[in-house]
With several copies, the nearest count.
Chain A
Amino acid sequence: MTQIEFNCPVVNQHRLNDQFVILTLKSAAICDTAQPGQFVNLSCQEFLRRPFGIMAIDRATNEFQVGIQIKGKGTKQLAGLKIGDIVSILGPLGHGFDMTGARRIITVGGGTGVFPLYFVHQTAKELGIERIAICGYRSVEDAILRDEFKAIANRTVFASDTGGLDVIGHAGHALQIALEQLASNTIGSQPTLDQSTFILTCGPKIMMQKVAEMALANGLSCQVSLEEHMGCGIGICLVCVCKIKNHETAEINHQRCCVEGPVFAAEDVVW
């Protein structure tokens, strides 16, 4: 019996712009065990908790961060938290990204999907894995965390639907270009584009599906972080299911986004 509900103090609230806020919270227990791709379930004044991917952890200070996009009532309340406020949190929850055997990762993030991918880079850096970050945004105004990714990744590509960044178009488009360059060995330190290059993606479903197809077409391992509306976040209510294929039996199952996910192997996902 391990108690994993925590009352965490807000130690910082940083507003990136009118849509995005980064909360810094303190919890040794969460920092101790969190893996990239895992999430926390935060209480607000609404009835249900709200799930957010862990964006970064700092084991020295026992602080961790979540990036929040203001969507409805709950995110508005959370974005309005002030330093010193206490938040009830369950976490770390779920099944994160697996980087075992990776020599290079390419993260492909879209929208709020870039937040949890930052934690992937933090961890990959510690593990000495080469890191390419591809981030897609709707516009330059939405293009959050660019400095942070530039500082942590070996290489970054920022795409914007409306131009003004490295690539015009969506993140999948940017991935295509990056893969071509990698294949022709014009970028990256690793010689080849082989099974040791992992594609890790989080963002809009349609983007992740494109990314997954591209990765699989290139024979690369790909993991996707799915999003589903949740009740409990801890596996007991079965509302958060994703359609996942069992490749041995060819059966399609409903797996829980909050326990078996949110990260799944791309080839198992029934889009």
Chain B
Amino acid sequence: MVNTHVQIGELTLKNPVIAASGTFGFGREMQQWNNLSQIGGISSKGLTLNPRLGNDPTRVAETASGMLNSVGLQNPGLQAFIEHELPFMLGLGTTVIANIAGHSLEENVQMAMQLDQTAVHAIELNLSCPNVNKGCMAFGSSAHLIQEVVRAVRQSTTKPLWVKLTPNVTAISEMALAAESAGADAVCLINTLLGMAIDRRSRRPVLRNNTGGLSGPAVKPVALRMVWDVAKSVSIPVIGMGGIMTGEDALEFMIAGATAVQVGTANLVKPTACQDIINEMIMIATAEKITSFSQYTGTLKTW
């Protein structure tokens, strides 16, 4: 029997596979395909204080081994989340993470304060959404701004605070260090790479928002490198993601230094992805006579 539990700060996850924000709704639709009590956690769709319609469609473009999305944080607003979605999610028997993406420091602080009064298990501060004009990725591209906003949010809640980083930077480990020094309990990476798709015939961007965020297997090599890089730099846990489709992929991220992983785009093409991945990880660990998933973390032997 493999011990599947992993520890993110004070929080124990029953296994290291978390459904990534924006690719699992609030879990409702996924009950049909998964026994949600068996996955490591669910990160909610990115939340803002007020409801958001998000960007106009077309919001998706298929690319080689991946996709671009430009949803733009469509969500019902924090209050509706707390009233209508969170109670449902907390009843699922898995760890529930609220992904918040305020357009300003103040909005993030206010959301953190409100979430502090709920039973949510952790807050994932999203400083990396590429699909909105204000806040988010703009924060996430500057170590100084990251420090500022993480410190402020840290002071407004005692919940475990995870900070989600953008890969669209020169040195992601500096961003991770900034989050750590400001009190983050974990860093999550990567969010999507800023990209574009063009329809040659119409000479138009496929996405109505012109640009979008690239995810899926195409980005996996970049994500793995960044997770490895960040894990070497910080001492808080790293939650790795980007193109994970299989249990093998997930273990590669753990070997690179991740304590847990998130599975995003895979859910879209294979709704049972999270469960399948956990099962495959258990099979591999069993075959490798590993007694605890946590033994994989950071075991990469570099040349």
Contact = CB atoms under 8 A, between A and B. Distances in A.
Question: So, do A and B actually touch in the complex, CB under 8 Å?
Answer: yes
A236 to B, nearest CB: 4
A14 B49 CA distance: 53
A46 B62 contact: yes
Nearest to A43: B269
Given A1-B35, A235-B29, A47 B74 contact: no
A61 interface: no
Contacts of B271: 5, 90, 232, 234, 236
Interface in B2-22: 22
B268 A48 contact: yes
A2 interface: yes
Nearest to B19: A236
Interface of chain B, main secondary structure? loop
Given A1-B34, A48-B269, A237-B69, A228 B58 contact: yes
Given A232-B268, A253-B53, A238 B71 contact: yes
Interface string A225-245: 000111110111111111100
Nearest to B216: A47
Contacts of A4: 32-33
A243 to B, nearest CB: 8
Contacts of B31: 1
A235 B23 CA distance: 9
Interface in A229-270: 229-232, 234-243, 252-254, 259
A10 B188 CA distance: 42
Given A46-B62, A48-B60, A237-B22, 19 more contacts: A1-B32, A5-B271, A47-B62, A47-B66, A48-B62, A48-B67, A229-B58, A229-B61, A231-B60, A234-B271, A236-B23, A236-B25, A236-B29, A236-B30, A238-B25, A239-B57, A241-B59, A254-B53, A254-B54
Nearest to A49: B269
A89 to B, nearest CB: 12
A254 B74 contact: yes
12 contacts: A1-B31, A47-B64, A231-B60, A236-B23, A237-B60, A237-B69, A238-B54, A239-B69, A241-B54, A241-B57, A254-B53, A254-B54
B63 interface: yes
Contacts of A100: none
A1 B28 CA distance: 11
A230 B67 CA distance: 11
Contacts, number: 97
Nearest to A236: B25
Contacts of A1: 31-35
Contacts of A259: 29
A235 B26 CA distance: 10
A225 to B, nearest CB: 16
Contacts of B220: none
Contact of B267 (A230, A232, A240, A242): A232
- On chain A, which size bracket covers the interface? 20 to 34
Contacts of B62: 46-48
Interface residues of B, number: 37
A120 B144 CA distance: 59
Name which of A43, A229, A239, A253 has the most chain B CB atoms within 10 A of its CB: A239
What are the 8 A-B residue pairs with the smallest beta carbon separation, nearest first?
A: A239-B60, A232-B268, A239-B59, A235-B29, A236-B25, A231-B268, A48-B62, A231-B60
Contacts of A238: 22, 25, 45, 54, 59, 71, 74
Nearest to A48: B62
A17 interface: no
A186 interface: no
A243 B58 CA distance: 12
A235 B33 CA distance: 13
Interface string A207-241: 00000000000000000000011111011111111
A1 B271 CA distance: 12
A243 B63 CA distance: 25
A24 to B, nearest CB: 24
A3 interface: yes
Interface in B48-99: 53-54, 56-67, 69, 71, 74
Nearest to B68: A239
A1 B31 CA distance: 6
A47 B59 contact: no
A231 B57 CA distance: 12
B228 interface: no
Given A1-B31, A47-B66, A237 B57 contact: no
B293 interface: no
A243 B30 CA distance: 24
B142 interface: no
B247 to A, nearest CB: 16
A254 B30 CA distance: 20
A229 B74 contact: no
Nearest to B63: A47
A86 to B, nearest CB: 15
Contacts of B268: 48, 231-232, 236-237
A240 B269 contact: no
